[in-house]
Amino acid sequence: MATEIYSTKNITLLDGKTFTASPLKIVFLREFMDKFGLMQYVENDEQSIAILAECTKIAMKQYIPEISEDIEDYIDMHILYEIIEAAAGIKVNENKEESVKKQTEEKGETWSDLDLAKLESEVFMLGIWKNYEELENSLSIPELMAVIGSKRELDYEEKKFLAAIQGVDIDKSANKQNEWENLKARVFSKGKTSDGNDVLSLQGPNAVKAGFGIGMGLDYEDLTQN
């Protein structure tokens, strides 16, 4: 049984201090991805790393705000890549000959393709947050998706119960899985699949919910990058 919405990573800085890194809250992820978007204009690894360093500063606003502007004294390249991966799921293998830009290129759908406003509006209707700013300070994307998933499941079960009272089995008349599962598949596979049954959808938080998957005990090689 899944017990986590997302995985965390303990990262040790050069001064020996350890902190727990988790997916960025939406407010920081917005800023992070705006900066990361400049990767499309870089011409070499030096420029790529400079952008990733700025992204890391943004991530540290969530993790250890007091050192976010002076990270050069606390990290090396290995630590930088660890932070980038934990914060936004962007993987860079420092031992690969492939350029940093090439390794970080988004495949398929991108961050800007995600209809975040629609998803946030659905969650906001729960009435837990006083405004959208508070919501974005409270939730990361995996948490947002988990809340929406639970809300939709509860809504569906209520409709199913009311229909059953009238002798109607709505499971037979509608495929309740497709729209939601396919949305999650697009998010967690970074646009590589839109099919909720595809193995590529079993990554990160989606794999945790399933209890297994890519990056959660199983590994795979992405041949599209070779």
Which three-class secondary structure string do you get for the chain?
A: CCCCCCCCEEEECCCCCEEEECCCEHHHHHHHHHHHHHHHHCCCHHHHHHHHHHHHHHHHHHHCHHHCCCHHHCCCHHHHHHHHHHHHCCCCCCCCCCCHHHHHCCCCCCHHHCCHHHHHHHHHCCCCCCCHHHHHHHCEHHHHHHHHHHHHHHHHHHHHHHHHHCCCCHHHHCCCCHHHHHHHHHHHCCCCCCCCCCHHHCEHHHHHHHCCCECCCECCCCHHHC
pLDDT of amino acid 181: 65
pLDDT of amino acid 93: 87
* CA 99 to mean position of chain CA atoms: 23
pLDDT of amino acid 49: 93
Question: Mean pLDDT per 10-residue run, the chain (226 residues)?
Answer: 72 96 95 92 93 96 95 94 93 86 71 81 91 94 89 83 77 60 63 54 51 42 50
pLDDT of amino acid 163: 78
pLDDT of amino acid 114: 76
Condensed to tens digits (0 to 9), the pLDDT of residues 39-59 reads 989 999 999 999 999 999 999
d(CA 151, CA 125): 10
End-to-end CA distance of the chain: 35
pLDDT of amino acid 15: 95
d(CA 195, CA 170): 22
pTM for this one? Answer: 0.68
pLDDT of amino acid 82: 96
pLDDT of amino acid 204: 53
